[in-house]
Amino acid sequence: MAFKMAKKVVTNESTVMATPDHVSTDLAGKTAILSLKNRTYYTLDDISSPIWDFIQQERRFSEIHQAITARYMVDSAQAERDLLEFLQTLADQNLIVIK
């Protein structure tokens, strides 16, 4: 019988960091990522690219949230929801580590 590992969920208490299993590059303010693990390309837009750059080092969710709300004119609650969704998408694609 095979056991399935529980899905890791990003919360506002999480610490996250990009995995080392990727190569990424800036393309005129956007980011292209190649996952070396699943051999898939991803493209990030000009809003999500700075987040990707920021999480190349281990960061607490609160640090990322604060950086986003300082950079963009966005409601704090909306930024939290959007950031949780974005980080969860990265986690689901095995592009970040959640602690």
- Would you give per-residue pLDDT tens digits along the chain (99 residues)? 555 566 899 999 999 999 999 999 999 989 999 999 999 999 999 999 999 999 999 999 999 999 999 999 999 999 999 999 999 999 999 999 999
User: Would the CA dihedral through 73, 77, 81, 87 be positive or negative?
Assistant: positive
The arrangement of secondary structure in 15-98, i.e. its CATH architecture, is Alpha-Beta Complex (3.90)
So where are the chain's domains?
15-98
Flag whether the pTM goes above 0.75: yes
Are the beta carbons of 42 and 33 closer than 8 angstroms? Answer: yes
